[in-house]
Amino acid sequence: MPRTVSGQPGAPSRPPIGLHLDRVARHVSREFDQALVAAGGSRPIWLVLLALTINTEANQRQLADFVGIRGATLTHHLNAMESAGLVVRSRDPENRRSHVVRRTPVGDEIFLRLREAATAFDTRLRRGLSAKDIDTLRTLLERLSSNSSRS
């Protein structure tokens, strides 16, 4: 009888790739979150400040799309970020129902700290990997993402 992971008949000989990918992704995500917390921030703060670096101002819908969260959740984060002096919100003169969000000088400082932590984390992830390895990994991850789609 072939040897399996659990030793039980019918069990896979190796964990399914999707399960392994999920476990690795969760582990890397937790480690990244810890690196951002150690630098004085969080993933939502990092993503909002990053979005406001790419575009110096954005409305809340654009930020929610960039961060990948719902508007109400973003509003909660923006309230805390505004209270901490990281961002300011003002009415969009072209659409009074919409708010425009901008980084403040304090937000600039935090962004630089978080960028340093994110860069150091990325360097840590790449340890022992060549540029070709990284390119191959990107290609494989894109293929897995495509394969997971229902179409």
Residue 135 structure tokens: 């390119």
Q: How many CB atoms lie under 10 A from the CB of residue 117?
A: 20
Q: pTM for the whole thing?
A: 0.82
pLDDT tens sequence across 89-108: 998 777 777 889 999 999 99
> How buried is residue 77: exposed, middle or buried, by Cβ count under 10 Å (0-12/13-18/19+)?
buried
Residue 2: the pLDDT is 47
Question: Distance between CA atoms of 61 and 69, rounded to whole angstroms?
Answer: 10
Query: Per-residue confidence at 6, pLDDT binned at 50, 70, 90?
Result: low
Pairing of strands 87-92, 57-59: unpaired
Residue 34: the pLDDT is 98
pLDDT tens sequence across 112-122: 999 999 999 99
Q: DSSP letters along the chain, please?
A: ----SSSSTT--SS--HHHHHHHHHHHHHHHHHHHHHHTT--HHHHHHHHHHHHSSEEEHHHHHHHHTS-HHHHHHHHHHHHHTTSEEEEEETTEEEEEEEEE-HHHHHHHHHHHHHHHHHHHHHHTT--HHHHHHHHHHHHHHHHHHS--
